[in-house]
Amino acid sequence: MRIFRHHTELPAEARGGVVALGNFDGVHLGHQAVIGTALRVARDARAPCGVMTFEPHPRAVFNPALPPFRLTPFRIKARHIEALGVDYLFMQHFDLHFATYSAERFVEEVLVAGLAVSNVVVGYDYVFGHGRKGNCDLLRELADTHGFSSTCVSPVCGPDHEVYSSTRVRDLLVAGRPAEAARLLGRYWEVEGRVEAGDRRGRTIGFPTVNIRLGEYLHPATGVYAVRAGVDRGGDTVWLDGVANFGNRPTFGGGDVLLETHLFDFDGNLYGQHLRVALVEHLRPETKFAGIDDLKRQIAEDCGRARAVLSALAFPVMPGPKVPAPPNAPKR
């Protein structure tokens, strides 16, 4: 997949294709249905398939004081989109000037003059242009005017008839329900970051951890999780079982929030490397303990519970691009 950070002066092979439009934060199963529709239309027409997304996320531009909310920062989102088989990813820069573009101007300058689209695919609730005045009906009218086709994908629901949405995924993660969020994503939600050197307390009590900051990622519920951690091994990501705490370590006086992950049966140095951590199940809230011995006993119990949870899910042995969610995983 090639990535373009502009919509002008594109090579001929990147123009004239089918393009799915959206923010696609999370690339959940509803987003995958929209992109999948674009892929099918493109293959039938023997045309390239592209996705256009917007960075920074418009919500962050209009409300810069908001706390972190991203499910998939751009690099992670791009990886998930690439895994679907898309040919081109167009990253449209979004700022307050671009926000003044009317729906008509966006179609004329970006989609028609820039990308020369043959078909534009959007979700049923997608809106675009200044004042959010563009929708499926207006896109259809503009498509007729400018000589391309448009496809509006109907709502996609899960087995419990709930419509897939990024907002719902965020709500579930903040509520400490990652297994339910995984049912909407089609995979367990993961964060990725560079491993930082910490205070090494975990090593001194027998449970060494690798620590990452969440940056612009959404902050899930604080507490202890059963996790799968992805370690880079050449071109592969090798997934290991573990237990993690997300919080500010109240037993040691608090501080900035970190995701601290203890990898089972692993002995190695990951400082400075990128680590991917998929949250599988929330085991308990973060707790302030009276002393180190109480903390060590609780961590040992957490490790046992995490091993049991992860063993019961029987994840495939891989390297692989993601930790899959069992399609009929029970709500926990």
Say whether 188-313 and 2-153 share the same fold: no
For range 141-154, the mean pLDDT: 97
80, 28 contact by CB (below 8 A) = no
**Structure-token match 């491993």, residue found:** 195
Per DSSP (E only), the strands in the chain are 2-4, 18-21, 49-55, 88-93, 119-123, 149-153, 190-194, 210-212, 223-233, 236-247, 258-263, 274-284
Query: Domain 2-153: what homologous superfamily?
Result: HUPs (3.40.50.620)
Tell me the per-residue pLDDT of 262-294, one tens digit each, with 9 for 90 and over.
Answer: 999 888 788 888 899 999 999 999 887 767 888
Could you say which architecture CATH assigns to the domain 188-313? Beta Barrel (2.40)
Alpha-carbon distance of 96 to 80, in angstroms, equals 27
Tell me the per-residue pLDDT of 167-179, one tens digit each, with 9 for 90 and over.
Answer: 999 999 999 999 9
Q: List strands edge to edge, sheet with 210-212.
A: 190-194, 274-284, 223-233, 236-247, 258-263, 210-212
Provide the pLDDT confidence category of residue 253 given band limits of 50, 70 and 90: low
**DSSP track, 173-202:** HHTT-HHHHHHHHTB--EEEEE-B----HH
Tell me the per-residue pLDDT of 76-107, one tens digit each, with 9 for 90 and over.
Answer: 999 999 999 999 999 999 999 999 999 999 99
For range 215-238, the mean pLDDT: 89
Tell me the per-residue pLDDT of 51-73, one tens digit each, with 9 for 90 and over.
Answer: 999 999 999 999 999 999 999 99
**Residue 255: its pLDDT value, please?**
67
Give the start-to-end residue ranges of the domains of the chain. Answer: 2-153, 188-313
